[in-house]
Amino acid sequence: MKFLSYIVIFLFGTACSSEKDDYVPVTLENPKLEFTVPANFPEPSYNVSLNPPTEKGFELGKKLFYEGRLASDGVVSCGFCHIQDFAFTHHTHIVSHGVDGALGTRNAQPLHNMAFMKEFTWDGAAIHLDLQPIIPITAEVEMNESFSSIIKKLEERPEYVKLFSEAFENQKINSENILKALSQFMIMMVSADSKYDKIERNEGSVFTEQEAAGFELFKSKCASCHAGTLFTDQSYRNNGLSVDPQYNDLGRKRVTGLDEDLHKFKVPSLRNIELTFPYMHDGRLKTLNDVLDHYSNGMVDSPTLDPVFKNTDTSLGILMTDLEKEQIIAFLKTLTDDNFVADSRFSEF
């Protein structure tokens, strides 16, 4: 009788062996993580049900995010350019530095609330968060790597073989799972715990007089583009920056090829703006004061300049007094989320 049972076990073991990948049933626990939409946030753009974050998937995504092996020099990880203390920007650098000190042409964007964004990068060159990492990984001026080579490097590391097999049902180390794990990590990076949020959700905080005045000014002067609780309408616009001949960055035109998109960039979210200096797509402005000076009297006209900035008296920009600028800046600082930048779930160590 025992003998027969062995046969059954044996058959069970071999019955599936004709399949391409040796499937071993996952017995380990891999609990789902709760993805919570903050009460004052819109519905996410990312379809979380198609790549539901799990404990292991998140852990893997985080490990990959801080993994130098994703770069050709073994050093430049995602976390090298996206530093948590500065809401995941590369703040010491105006434009990003990649492998061998290669200079990019753009300022690293903050990573927060990615699940709520529809398109990615300053010009929308990635239409899905899962696809976005293809750009830094393969770009010469960033990580200068290839997926085939990363897959090989990861397959050599037992800790990754284990994590991939725990995180994904098909247990494979492949590009899709690499990208999905990175997304699981990034979509969990929700920043919604600033003073502004607590006020918006009626959690007991109140604006100071200065901040309240700043908020009113912001609503009338800035919120047409920096709209809603994400502080962006996710459109592409030209806010009057002069063209830097060193880069001659085409902006959105690079993606669409359309002249009407020349020098337009994605309206950035202003959350954690106090921490994400320097500012603008090429990091040309060092402080929030510089930004407001740009809006009041630094604008350059061009065919694609947003009509909002063209005043009836033919002047350009947004009229603001020094006091008003101070008030707006005071308001912008209420968007800083200290808990987010200190959240150990997202830190390397």
Partner 1 sequence: MKKIILIIAAFLIVLSCKNDDNNNGGSDNIEKFGTLTLDFSNTIEDKTIDLERGSYTNGSNETYAIAELKYIISNIVLITSTGEEFKYPVADSYFLINEAEESSKEISLTDIPEEEYTKIRFGFGVDQSKYPIESGTANFIPTAEENGMLWAWAAGYKFLKFEGTYNTIGSTTSNDFILHVGSHGANLDNYKEMTINLPSVLSIKEMTTPNVSINADIAKIFDSINTHSLEVKSDVQVDPVNAPIIAENVSTMFSITNVSN
Residues that bind partner 1 (CB under 8 A): 1, 4-5, 7-8, 11-12, 15-16, 18-19, 47, 50-51, 119-120, 124-128, 130-132, 134-135, 138-140, 146-148, 151, 174-176, 179, 254-258
143 touches, from partner 1, ligand HEC, none (C-beta below 5 to 8 Å by class): ligand HEC
| CB hemisphere CA count around 173 (13 angstroms) | 19
**Which lies closer to ligand HEC via its Cβ, residue 14 or residue 248?**
248
Contacted by 222, from partner 1, ligand HEC, none: CB < 5 to 8 Å by type:
ligand HEC
d(C-alpha 290, C-alpha 279), whole Å? 9
19 binds, among ligand HEC, partner 1, none (CB under 5 to 8 A by kind): partner 1
Query: For the CA atoms of the chain, what is the radius of gyration?
Result: 24
Tell me which DSSP letter residue 223 carries: T
Min dist. Cβ of residue 12 to partner 1 (A): 5
Residue 18 contact partner, candidates partner 1, ligand HEC, none, CB within 5 to 8 A by sort of partner: partner 1
Q: Look at residue 332 and give its three-state secondary structure.
A: helix
Which helix or strand (DSSP H or E) is residue 180 part of? helix 175-187
CA 288: distance to chain centroid?
Answer: 21
Neighbours of 98 (CB within 10 A): 23
What angle, 0 to 180 degrees and rounded to 10, lies between the N-to-C axes of helices 175-187 and 55-65?
A: 100
- We find the least distance from the C-beta atom of residue 67 to ligand HEC, in angstroms, to be 9
Q: How far is the CB of 55 from ligand HEC (least distance, A)?
A: 19
Whole-number minimum distance, CB 218 to ligand HEC, in Å? 6
Residue 182, contacted partner among partner 1, ligand HEC, none, CB below 5-8 A by kind = ligand HEC
3-state secondary structure of 251: strand
Q: Which does 78 bind (CB under 5 to 8 A by kind): partner 1, ligand HEC, none?
A: ligand HEC
Candidates 194, 38, 223; CA nearest to 115 is: 38
Please choose which of ligand HEC, partner 1, none residue 142 contacts, taking the beta carbon within 5 to 8 angstroms, the exact cut-off set by kind: ligand HEC
* Contacts to ligand HEC by CB under 6 A: 65, 70, 76, 78, 80-82, 90, 96-98, 104, 106, 108-109, 111, 114, 117, 120-123, 132-133, 136-137, 142-143, 182, 186, 221-222, 224-226, 237, 239, 241, 265, 267-268, 270, 273, 276, 279-281, 291, 295, 306, 308, 318, 328
Non-local (6+) Cβ contacts of 174 within 8 A are 151
* Token pair for 266: 């994605």
Cβ–Cβ under 8 Å, residues 151 and 174: yes
